[in-house]
Structure formats: structure tokens, C-alpha cells
Amino acid sequence: MVTTLIGGLLLLLHIAGVLAAMHAVMNTRTPQGAFAWALGLVLLPYITLIPYLYLGRSRFHGYIDLHRLRRGQMQALAETQLVTSPAHQAACARYGEIADMLGTQFHAGQRLQLLVNGEATFTAILNAISEARHCVLVQFFIIHDDMLGKRMQQVLLERVRAGVEVCVLYDGIGSHALPGHYVDTLRAAGVSIHPFATQRRSNRFQLNFRNHRKIVVIDGVRGFVGGLNVGDEYLGLKPPLAPWRDTHLQIDGYAVAELQRSFAEDWHWVTGALPPLRQPASGQGSAHTLIAATGPADRQESCSLFFVTLIHAARRRLWITTPYFVPDLAVMAALRLAVFRGVDVRVLIPSRPDHHTVFLASSLYAHDAVRAGIRVFRYQPGFLHEKVLLVDDDTASVGSMNLDNRSFRLNFEISALNVDRAFASQVEAMLVEDFSHSHQVTEAEYLRAPYLRRLAMHVARLFDPVL
């Protein structure tokens, strides 16, 4: 009797695995991902079926339909609020594919401030919020109820009590540990605060399509974007990853309207209403800035193509910092071609893991990169979380995009692409300092690793479609 029940249960699991494999073949975005899921679901459904329920879904419809409908409306609204200065064609023309793909443009005259690490970033953000007079838009992947989270909560409470409109978005999965009383305190005081999800109905099985964007906009005239979330670890206060290395960017100028637009699209999906939108002020700087908001609702795999375009544009130098180095075939091919063009290609990655499976896969890709002539470095003092890219002597990108499949195809991301020699020089100085605290990866790192660790790297890479 017991044997019959076990046999029946295994049969049901295999039937469910076959059905799930059919779903994976029809819906997974990449052939590699479809093959990986299908193979695991058919052969080992009792191991892979539950993870597939959480991670396998790669398409959705409700958000896509509204996103595409509203994107044009949001863009028209943004354009009626400002008159943009034409970007300098010689400086920005080589990135025209990105602007065309995303339906956006470079904005001239932006004033930029590079914010290195958590203390500088949150000092600037909290001070800017405390000076807000009309509205504050805040969006983070992670908000913690810790020291920094409480500082953020208090400054938002102070502003809403002063009559400022405050809107807050946080990701429902990224901020899963955020207690209800934190949200309730803000909401009771008048802060409009909501979790982001691509389905309006709760789905405990859906972990994909996370909103990884970090956006703060003050009165429509000052914006912040970058890699930091709201939590004490981002201030370097939580070992063993401390000190935490990260970068953010402050923008003053017309490009802030694009940050507002990105926030407004997500806000409208969650609430059905528009947040307060203000007219940005004319920038007093020298940078041309394009805001690249990418995500799985786009018709193209826009985040991956964003990186490919920047890599192909490089003629002398390409420096990349990323916590997760799991490039897809297109990005890896572009990096290899850059080496053949004689470009100084460097990739800076962590020496400590925060996600062990991703770290193992990254280590194998680092080995492949070194063999292809790409110089790979590991940052030594602490965990490296910054997402910065420097092209030649005039272009630098700062944002939330990682070099992995989750950013390429599953997460909503945002970065500021800036063409300005003075700003690029600042980014170069920052990265030179980072590289001075790193050691170069050689083939020996992989070859001298124990066999079981090398095996683990290869097994981890099998899962890179969902990492």
C-alpha cells in the first residue's frame, strides 16, 4: 500500500514536471534557460518543480500592456513640461541606438555630483529630502527598518507634516523583511507608500520581475540614481561584507524629468494614479545625460543591449565594475571583440560573496574572461556593489544594472549614461583608487582551485539563466 502511494506520488510529480517543462519551453526567454529548466523538470521534478514555481515564470501581460500604453503618455507629458536642449551630436551620436531603443534622449547642461559610498550618498539624499518644498518621490529595491531606515523614515515624516507630498515605492520581495509597522507609521502620517509587484493580485510563488531601481526625486529638480539601497549594510556597518563599496549619482537638470517618468510608470501600475510631477529646472552643468530605464516589459532585451552598445562604442578604454559578473553571450562576445580592437578592458568584481551560487558562476566567467584577454580584478577591502561603466575619456554610466541575466531580462533597472569629459575624469579617478585596492585575477585562480570547487563553478553556471 505504501509502495503504491509512493509510486503514485512520483508519477504525479513526473507528470507535473513534464507539463512544467512544456511551459518552460514555450515561455522561457532564452534557449539556454528553456533547456536548463526543461531538462531538470523532466528528469528531476521533485527537485526542480518548486524552484520553477518561484523562478520559472518569464513573461507577464498586465504590466506589459499598461506599461506600453502609458510609456507614450508619460513621455508626452514629460515633453510638455520642458523644452530640451539638443545634445551635442559628436559626443552622443555613438549611443543613438540606446536613445532610439528606449524612446528617450540625451539632455544637455546637466550638473552631476559623484557620490562615493554610503555616507556621502545618504547625506546628500537625506539633506535634499529635508529641503523639499513640494514633493518627494522615493523608490528603492530594499528598505530596512534599521538605523538608516529609521533616519529615512523620520525625514519623510518631517516633510509630509510640513505639507510636502511624499510617494514611496519599495520592492515587495527585496524588502520582504520590512515590518508592517514601519509602513503603517509612514502611511498614518500621510505618506503614500506601496510595495511594487508586476501582478496586482498577490502571488507568493512569483519571485521574478523585481523592481531593482533606486530613484529619489526632489521637487522635480534634483534626482538621485545608483546602486545603494536603504540599509545599514550600505553604510558598511554589517560585517563580514563591510566595508561596503558602492556609488550613487546626483543629477540637477532636465534629465530629472526622465527619473520622474520612470517612477510615474511604476507608480501608476501600483496605484492607478499619477504621482505629483514637477517641471525640472535648467541644468547649470556641462554633461549630456540619458536616463536608461530598462525592464522585462520592454519589447527588446534592453538592458543587455545597453551594455552591448556601450562596449562596442569603446575605442581606447572600457572599465566595468559589477558585483555579479554573469554576462550573456552577446555581452561576452562584445567584450572579446573590444579586446581585439585594442581596448583596455577591465572588470572589477568582489573578492567576497554575498550570494554564493552567483559568486561561483562569476568566478568561472572571470576565468573565461582572463583567457580571452580581459583584465579582471577582485576588490579586496570589502564587498564591491557598485555598478559603474567608463568608456574612453568622456562617457560614464552609474546606476542599478548588474552584469547578469537577472538585470538583463528579469529586473526593472535604471542607469544614467553621461557624456562629459570632466565627469568621466572624476569617475576615472574613483576607479583608479578602486583598482589600487584590488588584485588581478590570473588563470591560476581557477587552475589551483580544488576539483570540487571547480566542479561547483561549472554547476553554478548551469543556473545562470535564473541567477
Catalytic residue numbers? Answer: 212, 214, 219, 385, 387, 392
Contacts of residue 197, defined as CB under 8 A and 6 or more positions apart, other chains included, come to 172, 203, 206, 270
Which segments within 135-246 are labelled E, that is strand? 135-140, 165-171, 192-196, 215-218, 222-226, 244-245
The x, y and z cell numbers of residue 289, run together, are 545625460
CA distance 407 to 211: 10
Query: What Å distances lie between residue 79 and 66, 91, 156, 266, 278, CA to CA?
Result: 20, 23, 29, 19, 12
- The DSSP output letter for 442 is -
Distance CA 188, CA 156 (A): 12
Contact 420, 394 (CB under 8 A): yes
| Spatial separation of the C-alpha atoms in residues 146 and 129, rounded to whole Å | 19
244 beta partners: 383
- Beta strand 287-294 with 413-419: parallel, antiparallel or unpaired? antiparallel
Please classify residue 61 by burial: count the beta carbons closer than 10 Å to its beta carbon, then call 0-12 exposed, 13-18 middle and 19+ buried. Answer: exposed
- 3-state secondary structure at position 114: strand
